[in-house]
Structure 1
Amino acid sequence: MSSSAASPSAPPYFLPFDPASPLLVTKGVLTTGTIGAITGASIGVVQSKNPFALSINMTINLSIASLTFFGLREYVISPILLSIQPTLSHTRRLQNVQQLSSKQLGKLPESNNDSVDDALPPASLLEVRTDRLLDSALAGGMTGGVLSAAFRGRATFGKAFITSTLIGSILQLSTNQLRVFRLEYLAKQPQPRRETRSISSLAGSPSSSLDGSTTNIEFEKYDPSLSTNFNENLLKSSSTTINPNQTPSLPEKMMSGLSKFLPVRKLSNEEYLEQLEKKRADVDKRLKEIEDEEKRMYAWAKTQK
């Protein structure tokens, strides 16, 4: 009984690998190589040396270091830590990896996984700040220690390990802090008003889909004030008069000059108003299509009773 219950949640491989690891490693190597090229060229210009040679040298060195770092982190250290789950962040990442693997294999996530996700508390800012911190620290230490031992001797492994661990931790903390700043910025942005209505409410009775769950569909609220403001702007634009004695501005002179050689001409107020009316007709047509779609959904919901 216990073995059969635990088998659905077991990872498909011995160690849980993130399906996005190849793309992440590629992005990391390309980004680091680009930074190395720009830095090497800048140092060459400042020190009056050959910027091309320094750029190539730093690009190769940083690309090798970044390939070693991201390869160790994504394919060795992170899978081991995900299997051990030392922190809540690793537990959350393990469940995400298992669900992504199931989706890529053509399987829907099991309901047991969904219940476990719901049992986890939402990610806090502290968890975001410390995300992948242990992974990057160990990967940085191993990368620095191995490369230093390979090029400078085995005696330098310890010092290089400690220094590279600190560097990897600082860089990961900086990256996580940028993510926190982005989340705080997005949280301050005004969210558009949305209305969630279920098909059961459209049908007037609690109807369910084939699997017994009520299907929810989100619709954006139509604000009547938008149409009113649009009409007011049209009236204002049509009521403006142009003084024939007014001196044309520089953009108007440029447009009149270009119209002699290119198929470019200035639109009059009537032509501009006609274009706005055409756009408004397209919007009204789209709203009518959305209304017809809601009616078809209403009819479909009635057949599901």
Structure 2
Amino acid sequence: MVLTLPGRQYQLRRQKFIHSIGNSMSEEPTSLSWADIRTSRLLDSGISGGLSGGILNTWKRGRRGLVPGLTTGALMCTFLQLCFNELNILRIRHVSANPALPPQRTIHGSVDTGQGSFADPSTSAGMQMTQVESSTSHSPMDRILSMFGQRISDEKYLERLKIERDSYLHRIAELEEEKK
């Protein structure tokens, strides 16, 4: 059914389907834009969410629950699909920006270093090793915590706590003098 529908999203799915079955008369592949990825399957999710929400809300509340169920289901599913699409874009950007990924294997089983066929193997292997070592030196918990701020040493943290304590003690002394 998707093969007969108009629109950019369906055109991309049609090309993917034709390519997957190995049809030699396939169309010229088109490149995806960020907008194509952001809007991927939004209409499908909205329709299916609207139908599901309408059916469930009608079952729960009777005939008067059909329109609110349709609306709520469509909006929620469209929003969730949009969030999923944004996460997919973040994943693509992260993968494309991360140079420390291991080399990809080609169809023939040889390793593609991404540096051309005339690269010196000793320098490319050494460079890849240092990149992998530097990326694995941090634990996953350190990476998660780095999203919220920088990790500081215990001495710096203790110094901050002492400064904060002194400011509170000073404020307490001021309040006690005002009370007298």
TM bucket normalised to smaller = 0.5 to 0.7
Take 1:227 and 1:99, find their aligned partners in 2: how far apart are those partners?
35
Q: Output aligned runs, 1:217-228, within 5 Å.
A: 220=113, 221-225=119-123
Deviations 1:191-248 (A, max 9, x none): 7798xxxxxxxxxxxxxxxxxxxx9x7654453347999xxxxxxxxxxxxxxxxxxx
Distance 2:126 2:86 in 1: 44
Cα shift at 1:87: 2.3
Structure 1 equivalent of residue 5 of structure 2: 85
Quick one: distance in 2 between partners of 1:130 and 1:227?
Answer: 40
Query: Do structure 1's residue 123 and structure 2's residue 32 form an aligned pair?
Result: yes
Equivalent residue in structure 1 for 2:56, among 138, 147, 165: 147
Identity of aligned residues (%): 25
Structure 2 counterpart of 1:117, one-letter code: E
Paired residue secondary structure (1:142): helix
Q: 1:154 to 1:117 in 2, by over 3 A?
A: farther
Pair 1:228–1:188, CA change in 2 (3 A): closer
Shift of 1:158: 0.9
Greater Rg, structure 1 or structure 2? Answer: 1
Structure 2 length-normalised TM: 0.55
1:160 is matched with: 69
What's the offset of the Cα at 1:148?
Answer: 1.2
Q: Gapped runs of 5+ residues in structure 2?
A: 114-118, 128-180
- Structure 1: any 5+ residue segments left out of the alignment? 1-14, 16-81, 103-108, 195-214, 230-305
Residue 111 of structure 1, CA deviation: 2.0
1-structure distance, mates of 2:125, 2:10: 50
Match of 1:110 in 2: 23
Distance in 1 (CA, whole Å) between partners of 2:36 and 2:64 is: 36
Report SS of the residue matched to 1:112.
coil
Is it true that 1:174 corresponds to 2:120 in the alignment? no
Q: 1:163 to 1:223 in 2, by over 3 A?
A: same
For the pair 1:94 / 2:5, whether they are aligned, the reply is no
Normalising by structure 1, we get a TM-score of 0.34
